[in-house]
Amino acid sequence: MSRVRAFLWIAAGIAALGLLTQPVSVQAQLSLSVTLIAAMALVWMFARGKLARQLFISLASFNVIRYIYWRSCYTLPPTSDPVGLTLGLILFAAEIYCVIILIISLIIGADPVKRKPQKRWPDDELPVVDVFVPTYNEDEYILATTVAAARSMDYPKNKLHVWLLDDGGTDQKCNDKDPVKAESARHRRASLEALCKEMGAIYQTRVRNEHAKAGNMNNALAHAKGDLVLVFDADHAPFRSFLQETVGYFLEDPKLFLVQTPHVFLNPDPIEKNLRTFDHMPSENEMFYSITQRGLDKWDASFFCGSAALLRRSALAEAGGFSGVTITEDCETAFELHARGWHSVFVDKPLIAGLQPETFASFVGQRVRWCQGMLQILMLKNPLFKKGLKPIQKLGYLSSMTFWFFPFPRLVFMLAPLSYILFNVKIFVSNVDEAIAYTLTYMIVNMMVQNYLFGSVRWPWVSELYEYCQGVFLANAIVSVVMNPRKPTFNVTAKGLTLDNDHLSELAWPFFTMYGLLLAGSLMAAYRYVFEPGIDNLMLIVGLWNSFNLVMAGVGLGAVSERKQLDRHPRLKIDRAATLDVKGERVPCRIENVSAGGCALRFEGDMPAALLEGEETNTRLIVKPMGDMAGDASLPLRFRRVPPGVGGLYGCSFETMNPHEYFVLADLMYGDSDALPKFLASRRKHKSIWVGTGQFLMWGFVEPVRAIAYLFKHKAKAAQSELAAPPPEASTVWLHRLAAQGAEPATASSTEVTASPSMEPPKKPKRAAAKPKTTAPRKRAATKRKSA
Amino acid sequence: MMSLGRASFHLCVGAFCVAAILAIGAPLRAQTIFMTAPPSVAKVQIKGPSSSAPSSQVAPRGNSSPAAKTPIAVSTGLRTEGPLAPGAVLRHLTNNIQGYRLAGEIGASEWPIYLTLAQARRKLQFQLGYLAAVSVMPEASTLTLMLNDEVVGVTQISAFTSVKTVVFDIPTGLMRAGFNSVRISTDQRHRVDCSVEATFELWTQIDPTQTGLILDEADAGIDNLADLGALLPDEQGALPIRAVLPQNAQPATVVRMLRAVQMISIMGRFEQPVVDAGPLLPGRYGVNLLVGPANQLIGQVGFDNLGVVDRPRAVVLPATPERRTTIIITGTTLAQVDEAMNLFLVATTPKGAPAGLRAAAAFPGYRLEGGQRIKMHDLGLVSEEFSGRLFRTGFNIIMPPDFYPADYGRATLRVGGGYASGLSSRAQLVVNVNERTAVSLSLLKTSGEVFKDNPLPLPLGFFRPGLNRVEIEAHVPTKGDDNCDPLSAIDAPNRFLFLDQTEIELPAIARVARIPDLAVTATGGFPYAGSAVRPKLFLPSFDEKSIGAALTVAAHLAIAAGRPIDFDIAAKPPGKGQGPTLAVAPFDAFDSGLLQKLAMPIADLREAWKDRIGAPPRTHAEEILSQTQAAARNRLVLQNNFPMACHAGLHLGTKHSALNRARFANIDYSAVASLLRNATNPNDLKQALAAQPTRDLFGEWDAKMRNETSWSHIVVSWFVRMREWGVAKFTDAGSWMSKSFDSTDGDSRLLTPDSLLAVGQNVVGDGVEDVWTVVTAPNADDLADAVGCLVDPRVSRQIAGRLSVLDVARARMNITPVDDPHFVATQPLSVGNVRLIAAGWLSLHALAYVLGAVTLAILLAAATRLFVRNIGRRAD
C-alpha cells in the first residue's frame, strides 16, 4: 500500500514536471501564473486543513518550477559577454540556492508534528534526572535564579539533582598567571560553592578548561549517576512543569535519546530592541522552533539545541559523551546519536525562559559561532555520507547546515542591481513581458508562500533583514571556516558594553558603506533614467529593485543603531496574588509582571498609608507559592512612591536576596507554565503582506535618519573624549564585585538589583549553541533587460 | 540509384529524384538521351573582351550635360538613344516575395539567374527599368547593380513620372554558365523630410517588364533539357507553360502532362509556372509542352521537328517566330512516353558562379529545418555602412510545411553591427517577421557601440510554414534630423553598420502536419506529396481553362513539396479511402452536397458570385490595350507594387495587355548608363571593384568608437538627449494613445466584391486519405485568371486556414482559421518533437494548459498528502 502511495506521488510529480517544462508561450505562462495566484488566494481564504495546505504549496511550487525552468533555459547572458555571463551565473546560483532551500524546507515541513500534552506518570516510575547548568562567567544572581528554578521543578525531589558546572572556577582559572584574574576566579569558586550548598545544588568544577562546554558537561557525566541529563544554559530558567511535560517520552520509547523544547527569551535581541518590535513581533527563533523543529520531528530528525533539553545518559555514554569536535557540540551530539539509531522528540511547548545578547556585536558573535559550527559539521562529518542516518534525516541535517550559506545569496541580491546601474553589465536576459509573466508572479508567489506558511511567526521581509544584518559578517566567517574547517576562529564576544545611551554599534560601518553604495546606485539609476531615456523599462525595474535594497539597508542601519536599554531585567507578564507586608501591615495585591530585578504590582484595595511616608519604602512581598515550597515565601521589596503607571501599576525593585529567597522568585516567575505561552501568543498575530511591507518601508525611511543622528552624536562625543575607555574584559565581572565589596563591605552582592551603570548588566553569555534559523523562502528581485 | 546518389545534386532535388523514380516506377536508364543538336551546332558567337562595341551597345552622346546629371562619383549616367538592336531578347527576373520593390532609404534584392553556356560566353548587358517615388532626392539616391557580388554599375535615381531604363555593360567573364547572382540595391534619401517616418515614402520599383539580361535572340533559347533553367520567364516573372493537349484529351494524357509540368518546374527551379491549355503558342517567353505518343504529336509539330521516334524521347525545340520553345515528351507507345519522363532526371550538380549558387539556394528563401544557424552572408546580404535614418535589410527563409508555429521557442538573430554616437533617444533596432514587429532593441548608448553578437529573440509564433520574410530595421535618427537639411544627406557621416556576419539561429522546431490546414498544403504539398495512397486530382469540368488551372495548382504543390506529386485524375468524386483529393473546377461544376461536406460557405459564395457563375466563356481572350492604356496600367501596377497577374483583367476591364509582349522591341530608351565607358581600360575597373570588399568594417568602427568616447562628447550628447527626452515623452504618450484607439485591423471580411477564388480544405472521412482541397471560382475563365494570381509568391504565401478566399483587387487572401485541426505525424516519433508539439498546442490553447496544470496541482497535492500522512511520525 505504501508503495502504491509512493508510486502515485512520484507519478503525479513526474506528470507535473513534464507539463511544467513545456516551453509554452509567454501568454500561456501569464495565464497560468495569474490563475495559480488566484487559486492560491482562494485556498488561503476558504480552505482549511492539511489537504488545503498541501494544495497551496503544490500550486505555488508549480509557479516556482516554471520560473526556474525559464530562468535556467532562457535568461542567462550569452557567452559573448563573459563579464555579464559570470555575474549572471552568480545571480543564478544565488537564486537556485534559495529555491533548493525552499524545496528542502517544504519537504521537511511537509507535515509538522503537533504533540498532545504528556500524561502524568506515577512518581515511582519516573527516572532520576541530573540537571546540568554549565556556567563560565555568568553573574551569581542569574545562576541562583536558574538553580532555584531547576530545583523547584515539579518532580520527586529525591530523583532530581541540580549540578552547577562552573568553568569559571577551574583549577586552571584559579591559578591564572594574571594574579587579578586568579583572585577573581578563586572568589567566584568560593562564592558559588557556598551558594550551591545553601540551595541544595551540587557545585562541580574541573582541572582544566578543555573542550569548552562539551568538556565541562562530559566531566560532570563522569560524576552523575541519573538516568537522564537535563541541560540548561546558565540563563535558561525552567518552568515548574518542565519535567512533567518531557520525561514521559523517555518512558514510552527506550531508544529515545533527546527531548528538546524551544528556547524562549524574555529580552529582545538587538534588532528587536533597536526596531522596538519585541512586544508585538514574534522573535526570530520562533520560526525555527515552532515550524522547522516540528517539521523535523515528523522525520525523527529534531536535534539538540544546547539547552532546555533532556538526554538519555546511556545514549550519551554509548557515544562517549557530548561530542566536541566542532564548536556546536549540541547539534553534533544529536547527529552522532541519530546515526546510531537513537530517536529524538521535539516538544513545542515553551518551558524555559532565557536571555539573549543585547548588543549587535555580541549578537553577531553568537551567530558567527553557530554558523561556523554548523559548517564545521558539514565539512568534517558530511551528513550525506554519514552511515546510519535515514535519507530524510540526512536531508534535515543538510538543510540546517547549508542554510548557513545564506549570506552569499543575500549579498548577491543586494549588490546585483548595481552591476547594471553602475557598470551597465546585463546579467539577466529577459524582455518586459517575460519579466512580468515569470519573475513578477514568482516574487508574488514567494511572498504568498512565506506569508501563508510563516505569517504568524514571521513578519514580511524580516527574514531578509536578519539575513542582511548577519550577512556581512557571516560571509567572512564562512570563508574562514571553509578554508580551515578544523580551526574555526572562536571570537570571544566583547562584553560590558554600556547600553545606557543611544549609540552606534561598533559594527555599524559596513552598513553605512552598503547604504551609501545603494543610495548612490539609486541616484545613479534615477539619473540614468532621466538622461538615458531609451532604457526606460529596464532602468526603472532595476532601479526599483535597488531602491528596495536601499530600504532594506536603511532598516539595517536602524538595527545597528543601539537604543539605550531602559529595562535592565526582562519582565515576564504573570498574574499572581500576593500580599505586601509594609511594616507589619498586610495589604493584598496582584503582581502583573516580574523580572529578576523587580516586579510591578497593583493594590487590590487602597494603598497603605505607611507607603506614603517616604519616597522609597522597604517592604516584603509575600507570595502564594504554586509549588511545594517550604518556609517563608517572601521577598524583600523596595517600593517607590512614584505616580503609578497604566492600571495603577507600581514598579518595585527587589532588594538583595538571600539564596533561599531565590526560590520564591523562581516560584513567582517560573511557577505558572501558562505565562510564557500567553506571552508568545500575544505576539503571534498574522501579519499580512501589505501591513508588513508598509511597516518595513516605514522603517526604511525613518531608521536611516536615526542612524545618522546617532552618527553625529557619536562624532561629537568622540571629539570630546579622544580616548574611549577600553571595554571591560569578559571574565572580570567578579573583579568588579570584589571592588564593590571593598567599597561597600556591608552590602555584598547587592548591586545587581539596583542596576548601577557601573556594573555589568545581565548578559547572555552564550558559548556555543546551534540554533539554525529556519529556512524561509526568500524573495528575490531580478533585473530585466529588454530583449538582450 | 547508386549512380544517382553519387551525383552531389542539391538536396531537395536529390530527394526529388529518388521520389520521382519511386513514384514513376519505371526502370532507370543508365543513359540519358537528348534529341537536341550538339552545342557546336548552335549559333554561338563568342565575343572576346577585346571586341569593341557589340551590336547592342550604342555610341555615347555627350550632349545632355552629363556633369549636371552625375553628382555621384561612381555613376556614369551617359545617355544613349536609339532602339536596341533588333533580335535582342530580355531575360527577365523571376518573381519573388518582395515583388520587385526596393523601399526605404536602403533596399536590396537578389535573384538567381540561369544562363546557358552560350549566353554566358557572350558580351552581355543588363537592362534595368525602374520607377521611383517622387519623394526620392535624385542628388543623393543611387541604384546599384551587382552581378555575382561585383558592382557592375551605379546610377542616379531619376525616374519619377515614367519608367526609365538603364543599361549596364557586364564585364566579360563575370557571368558564368549556370546560376548567377543579380543583386539590385538602392540608396535613397528624401527630398524634403528628414524624419524616419518619411523614409517609408521612399521606394524604387523595378519594372519587371523592362528589366533583365539583354540576350542575343540567337542564343536566347535553350536546346537541351540540361538548360531548363534558362527558359525565359515572362515579364511578370512567371513561367508560362502552354499545355498542348489533343482534342478530347483523356485523363491519362492530362496525368502525363501534369507530370511533365512538374518536372520542368522543379528541374528548372521555377517557382511560378502558370499553365494554360490550348494550341501551340508563339512568343519568346515560356514554353510549349507536348506529351504523347509520336503518332499523335507529329500532326501538331510537324515531322521535321520530331525526327524518327523509335524509343522514349524528350525533345527541346528552340523557339521560332511561330512557336515558343517547345518541349516534347514522346515515344512510340504510351509506355515509352512514361519512360521518357525519366529523361528529365539529368543528375548533374547545379553549376554556376559561387554567388549564383548561393542566390539559387536562398531563392525564393533559404530552407531551414530547425536546429540550424546561418549567416546573413550566405543569404546574400552584404555588410553595409549606412548614413540615412532608417536602415533596412531582410532575408527570406522557408520553414518546413509541417512546422507547427506557436510560441514554444524563439529563433535568435545574432546581430553584428554598430551605431554611431549622437543618435536620438528613439534610435532602435527592430526586427519584423512577416510584417509584424517581433522584437525591438533600443540603441541606447550615447557614445555609440559596435557589437559582433547582439542576440535578439524572435518568437517562433511569428513564423509560419513556407516562406517567411525577416526584416532588420535600424531606426537611427539624430537630433539634426529635426532641423532638416535634405542636402546634408549627400556625403552624410555613417550612422549604422550592418555586418554580414549576423546570423540567425533556429531552435529545434515542432514538426507535425495539421489537417485541415491550407498553409501546410500550400507550403509543402501535404498530404498529396508522399501520400501512401495515390492522390487524386478531381476535375469535374474538363475544359481547357479548368485543366490549365488545375495543372497550375498541382504544379505549385509539387514545387512546394520539392518533388513531383503523382496525381491520378478522377472525373467522378473519389470515395472514402481513395487518397487525398485535390479538386479544381468552376463553382457550378461541383455538386453542392460535396461542397457542403467540405464546409464551404456555399450560400455566401453563390451570392457573391451570382453575376459570374455560368458566364459564357470569353471568346477573344486578349484585347489589345492602347499604348497609353498599357503605360498607365503599368505605372499603376508599379506604383502600388501589385502582383500583375492579380490586377490584370479586372480594374482595367477584361483587356489583356498583349502589347506588353510586343513593347520591348519599340521601347524608347531614355537613359543608358554604362560603367565600362568611363574606364578606359576594363582591367582598371576590375581592379577598382576587386579592391572594395575586403574592408574590416568592425575594426574600423571599433577604433572610431574608442576615439569618440571622450567625456566632453558624452556630456554634450547627454545634454542633447535630456532636452529631447522631455519633448519625446509627450509625443510618445500621444502616439501610444492614438495607436491604442486606432485598432482597425483592416478589412477582415471573408468575401469581398473582388473575391474571385476560394480554396477550401476539409476532412470528409477519418484520415489523411480523406482530405479534400477544393479550388474554385465562379467560372472557368475566372478560375484560370485567379489561379494565375494565386501562384504569385506574394499571394500564395498567404494561403492558410480552412478556407482562403482570394481578393484579386488587393492581392490578398481572406482566411477562415481552423478551429481544431487533426495532427498528422510527418516525422518519426521522438520525445523532443512530441514535447515541442505539445508545447505548441498548449501555447495555442492556454486554457487547456492552465486547467491541466491546476488539475495536476490538485492531484499532486492529494498524492503528497496521502503519501506524507502515512510515512514518518503521525502528527496527531
**Per-residue model confidence as pLDDT tens digits over B646-661:** 754 433 333 333 333 3
Is A391 in CB contact (< 8 Å) with chain B?
Answer: no
Distance from CA of A751 to the nearest CA of B (A): 49
Contact across the interface for A2 and B871, Cβ inside 8 Å: yes
Residues of B in contact with A346 (CB under 8 A): none
Report the C-alpha gap between B328 and A371 in whole angstroms.
91
In chain B, the residue whose alpha carbon lies closest to the alpha carbon of A393 is B872
Average pLDDT over residues B449-466: 87
Q: pLDDT for B191-248, tens place per residue?
A: 888 888 888 888 898 988 888 998 888 888 888 888 888 998 888 888 999 999 888 7
Left (φ > 0), alpha (ψ -120 to 50) or beta: where does B371 sit? left
Give the residue from chain B lying closest to A5, CA to CA: B867
Q: Does A537 touch chain B (CB under 8 A)?
A: no
ipTM metric: 0.85
- Write down the H helix ranges in A179-239: 179-199, 212-223
Going by C-beta distance under 8 Å and a sequence separation of 6 or more, which residues neighbour residue A570?
A265, A266, A267, A355, A595
Residue of A nearest to B835 (CA): A22
Across A658-672, A758-772, B855-869, the highest mean pLDDT is recorded for B855-869
Question: B868 to chain A nearest CA, in Å?
Answer: 7
Q: Residues 109-128, chain A: which have Cβ within 8 Å of B?
A: 110-114, 116
| Mean pLDDT of chain A, nearest integer | 85
pLDDT at B514 over 50: yes
Chain A nearest CA to B407, separation (Å)? 4
Using DSSP bridges, classify how beta strands B203-206 and B178-187 pair: parallel, antiparallel or unpaired: unpaired
Q: Can you give the pTM of this predicted structure? A: 0.78
Residue B451's pLDDT band (cuts 50, 70, 90): confident
Cβ within 8 Å, pair A50-B863: no
**Are A24 and B846 an interchain contact pair (Cβ–Cβ within 8 Å)?**
yes
Chain B nearest C-alpha distance from A71 (Å): 14
Give the per-residue pLDDT at A732.
Answer: 41
CB atoms A28 and B846 under 8 Å? yes
Look at residues B52, B209, B229 and name the one whose alpha carbon lies nearest to residue B130. Answer: B209
Which residues, other chains included, contact A124 with Cβ-Cβ below 8 Å and sequence gap of 6+? Answer: none
Report the run of H or E that residue B64 belongs to, with start and end: none
**Residue-level pLDDT at A533:** 54
Residue A477 Cα, gap to closest chain B Cα (Å):
36
Is the C-alpha dihedral spanning B90, B93, B99, B104 positive or negative? negative
B431: nearest CA partner in chain A: A787
Supply the pLDDT for residue B623: 53
Q: Which three cell numbers stand for residue A661?
A: 529567597
Which residues of chain A lie closer than 8 angstroms to B868, CB-CB?
54, 110-111
Q: Chain B residue with minimal CA distance to A39?
A: B854
A532 with B446: Cβ contact below 8 A: yes
Contacts of B456 in chain A (CB under 8 A): 787-788
Dihedral class, residue B99 (left if φ above 0, else alpha if ψ from -120 to 50, else beta) = left
DSSP per residue, B449-508? EEEEEEEEEEEGGG--SEEEEEEEEEE--BGGGTS--GGGGTTPPP-EEE-TT-EEEE--
Q: What value does the mean pLDDT of chain B take? A: 77
The stretch A95-103 carries a mean pLDDT of 94
Phi and psi torsions of B591, nearest 5°: -70, 130
Of all residues in chain A, what percent are helix, strand and coil, respectively (each to 5)?
55, 10, 35
Higher pLDDT pick, A37 / B745 = A37
Look up residue A401 and give its amino acid: M
3-state secondary structure A110-153: CCCCCCCCCCCCCHHHCCCEEEEEEECCCCHHHHHHHHHHHHCC
Task: Give pLDDT, residue A314.
Answer: 94
Q: What is the pLDDT of residue A279?
A: 87
pLDDT at A546: 94
Q: Is the pLDDT of residue A101 over 80?
A: yes
Residue B554 CB partners (closer than 8 Å, separation 6+):
B258, B261, B262, B537, B565, B567, B582, B584
CB contact under 8 A, A110 and B870: no
CA dist B843 and B599 (Å) reads 27
Among the listed residues B718, B354, B761, B295, the one whose alpha carbon sits nearest the alpha carbon of residue B527: B761
| pLDDT at B702 exceeding the cut of 50 | yes
| Cross-chain Cβ contact A54/B871 below 8 Å | no
Specify whether the CB–CB gap between A562 and A274 falls below 8 A: yes
| Cα B490 to Cα A222: distance, rounded to the nearest angstrom | 100
Residue ranges of E strands in A554-713 = 561-562, 572-582, 585-594, 598-603, 616-623, 634-640, 650-654
* A598–chain B nearest CA distance, Å: 41
The listed range with the strongest mean pLDDT (B1-10, B39-48, B627-636, B719-728) is: B627-636
The C-alpha atoms of residue B129 and residue B136 are separated, in whole angstroms, by: 16
Rounded Cα gap, residues A636 and A618, in angstroms: 7
**Residues B782, B780: Cα–Cα separation, whole Å:** 5
- Chain A residue numbers with beta carbons less than 8 Å from the beta carbon of B856 are 12, 15-16, 19, 62
- The A residues from 85 to 114 touching B (CB cutoff 8 Å) are 110-114
CA distance A573 to A400: 33
Q: Which of the residues A32, A50, A54 would you substitute to probe the B interface, choosing the one with the greatest number of B C-beta atoms within 10 Å?
A: A54
- pLDDT of residue A254 exceeding 70, the answer is yes
Distance CA A33, CA B850 (A): 9
Q: According to the model, what pLDDT value does residue A548 have?
A: 93
What band does A781 get if pLDDT is binned at 50, 70 and 90?
A: very low
pLDDT of residue B711: 61
Catalytic residue among A235, A269, A297, A330: A330
The CA distance from A678 to the nearest CA of chain B, in Å, is 23
Inter-chain CB proximity A788 and B875 less than 8 Å: no
Task: Please report the pLDDT score of residue B343 as a whole number.
Answer: 81
- Give me the pLDDT at residue B727, please: 54
Q: What is the pLDDT of residue A720?
A: 59
Q: Do B835 and A22 touch (CB under 8 A)?
A: yes
The residues in A 51-80 lying below 8 A from B, measured between CB atoms, are 51, 54-55, 57-59, 62, 78, 80
Residue A784 confidence class, pLDDT cut points 50, 70, 90: very low
DSSP state of B387: -
Cβ separation A113–B875 shorter than 8 A: yes
Does B722 contact A530 at a Cβ distance shorter than 8 Å? yes
pLDDT single digits (tens) B761-786: 998 877 777 889 999 999 888 898 89
Task: Note the pLDDT of residue B710.
Answer: 58
Chain Cα centroid distance, residue B722? 45
Q: Both ends of chain B: CA-CA distance in Å?
A: 77
The answer to whether the CB atoms of B857 and A58 lie below 8 A apart is yes
Cβ separation B853–A27 shorter than 8 A = no
Tell which wins on pLDDT, B730 or B451. Answer: B451
Q: Is the peptide bond before B821 cis (omega within 30 degrees of 0)?
A: no
What is the spatial order of strands in the sheet that B390-399 belongs to?
A: B366-367, B390-399, B466-475, B428-433, B436-442
How many CB atoms within 10 Å of residue A96? 15
Which uninterrupted H or E stretch holds A677? helix A675-683
* Whole-number Å distance between alpha carbons of A289 and A349: 9
Judge: A59–B854 Cβ closer than 8 Å, yes or no.
Answer: yes
Name the residue among B589, B590, B645 with its Cα closest to residue B236.
B645
Please write the tens of the pLDDT for every residue from B716-728. 665 665 556 555 5
Would you state the cell numbers that stand for residue B188, as one nine-digit string?
Answer: 535613397
Decide if A54 and B454 are in contact by the 8 Å CB cutoff.
Answer: no
Strand partners, B823: B514
Shortest alpha-carbon distance between residue A351 and chain B (Å): 21
Among chain B residues, the shortest Cα distance to A54 is held by B861
pLDDT tens digits for B742-751?
A: 444 444 578 8
Percent over 70 (pLDDT), chain B: 77
Nearest to A787 among B441, B862, B864 (CB): B441
Q: Which amino acid would we find at residue A100?
A: I
User: What pLDDT sits at residue A630?
Assistant: 60
The nearest alpha carbon in chain B to A33 belongs to: B850
Tell me whether residues B461 and A25 touch, CB distance under 8 A.
yes
Interface test with A, best of B447, B835, B873, B876 (most A CBs within 10 A): B873
Judge whether A300 counts as a catalytic residue.
Answer: no
CB contact (8 A) between residue B408 and residue A15: no
Q: What is the largest CA-CA distance in chain A?
A: 90
What is the predicted pLDDT for the residue at B843? 87
Q: How, if at all, do strands B755-763 and B771-777 pair? A: antiparallel
Best CA proximity match to B384, nearest among B147, B668, B698: B698
State the residue for C-alpha cell 532535388: B13
Exposure on the CB side of residue B299, measured as CA atoms within 13 A:
9
Among all residues of chain A, which has the CA nearest to that of B832? A22
Closest of A552, A554, A599 to residue A573, by C-alpha: A599
What pLDDT shows up at residue B41? 28
- Closest Cα in chain B, distance from residue A78 (Å): 8
The residue type found at B657 is S
What would the pLDDT profile of A52-88 be if each residue is shown by its tens digit? 999 999 999 999 999 999 999 888 988 878 899 999 9
pLDDT of residue B6: 36
Question: pLDDT category, A2, cuts 50, 70, 90?
Answer: confident
Query: Residues A167, A233, A269, A348: which is the catalytic one?
Result: A167
**Cα–Cα distance between A155 and A383 in angstroms, integer?**
37
Measured N-to-C along each axis, helices A441-454 and A50-74 cross at an angle, to the nearest 10 degrees, of 150
Pairing of strands B150-156, B88-92: unpaired
Give pLDDT, residue A612. Answer: 78
Residues A727-776 have pLDDT tens digits of: 434 334 444 444 555 444 333 333 333 333 333 333 333 333 334 433 33
pLDDT value, residue A725: 42
Q: Cβ contacts of residue B723 below 8 Å, gap of 6+?
A: none
- pLDDT per residue as tens digits for the range B415-439: 999 998 888 878 889 999 988 888 8
User: Chain A residue closest to B461 (CA)?
Assistant: A25
Q: Active site includes A253?
A: no
Q: What is the percent of chain B with per-residue pLDDT over 90, rounded to a whole number?
A: 20
**Best residue in B720, B860, B873 to probe A by mutation, most A CBs within 10 Å?**
B860
